[in-house]
């Protein structure tokens, strides 16, 4: 059984809608277990126990949500040098008020420090989360889950 960890933070509900769509997509792949967690509730054991990681954040002032950064802060030291974390495949989705690039840049920079492996282009939604946005999130979940299950990543 392949496990996909989806961590997110949401205050307005936009990022949560996206996270749930990603989870539905990942969960539609046979042989995949989905762990959908708010970033504040996720920890090192979740990170070690997953086969793939999908990170969702709103964009605040051109930056990721503080709770996403908090997740990274709480897990980084324990993750350093752990073979279970090295080259862990990851992808990102962002609910953006502006263009989402600032939040994406910061998340990707931190993921480099973990030595995660970026495996898919980010889904960035500007403004309202509409049907098309949710479809792209669903597709993201499916692709990451199927690739991790098959050992492609």
pLDDT in tens, 98-111: 899 999 999 999 99
CA distance 131 to 43: 31
Residue spans per domain, the chain: 2-149
- 27 in Cβ contact with 76 (< 8 Å): no
pLDDT at 29 over 90: yes
Q: Which helix (H) or strand (E) holds 59?
A: none
Residue 94 has pLDDT above 90, yes or no: yes
Interval 110-137: pLDDT, tens: 999 999 999 999 999 998 999 999 999 9
Residue 36 vs residues 81, 105, 106, 113: alpha-carbon distances, Å:
25, 23, 22, 23
Q: What is the mean pLDDT of the chain?
A: 96
CA-to-CA distance for 44 and 28, rounded, in angstroms? 26
Structure tokens at 44: 């090192």
> What does the pLDDT average to over 8-22?
97
Q: Which fold has domain 2-149?
A: Rossmann fold (3.40.50)
Percent of the chain scored above 90 by pLDDT? 92
**Residue 102 burial (10 A CB sphere; 0-12, 13-18, 19+):** middle
Q: Do 6 and 36 form a contact (C-beta atoms < 8 A)?
A: yes
> What pLDDT does 84 receive?
84
State mean pLDDT over 28-45.
98
pLDDT of residue 98: 87
Structure tokens at 21: 């769509």
Q: What's the pLDDT at 81? A: 83
Please say if the pLDDT value at position 97 is more than 90: no
Average pLDDT over residues 81-106: 93
Task: Check pLDDT > 90 for residue 54.
Answer: yes
Say what the pLDDT of residue 60 is.
92
The answer on pLDDT for 95 being more than 90 is: yes
């Amino acid at each position: 059984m392949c496990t996909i960890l989806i961590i997110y933070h949401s205050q307005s509900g936009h990022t949560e809608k996206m996270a749930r769509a990603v989870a539905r997509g990942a969960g539609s792949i046979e042989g995949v277990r989905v762990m959908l967690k708010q970033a504040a509730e996720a920890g090192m054991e979740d990170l070690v126990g997953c086969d793939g990681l999908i990170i969702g954040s709103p964009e605040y002032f051109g930056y990721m949500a503080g709770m996403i950064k908090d997740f990274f802060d709480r897990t980084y030291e324990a993750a350093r040098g752990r073979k279970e974390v090295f080259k862990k495949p990851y992808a990102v989705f962002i609910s953006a008020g502006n263009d989402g690039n600032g939040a994406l840049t910061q998340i990707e920079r931190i993921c480099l420090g973990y030595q995660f492996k970026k495996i898919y282009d980010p889904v960035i939604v500007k403004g309202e989360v509409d049907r098309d946005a949710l479809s792209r999130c669903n597709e993201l979940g499916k692709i990451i889950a199927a690739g991790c299950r098959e050992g492609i990543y």
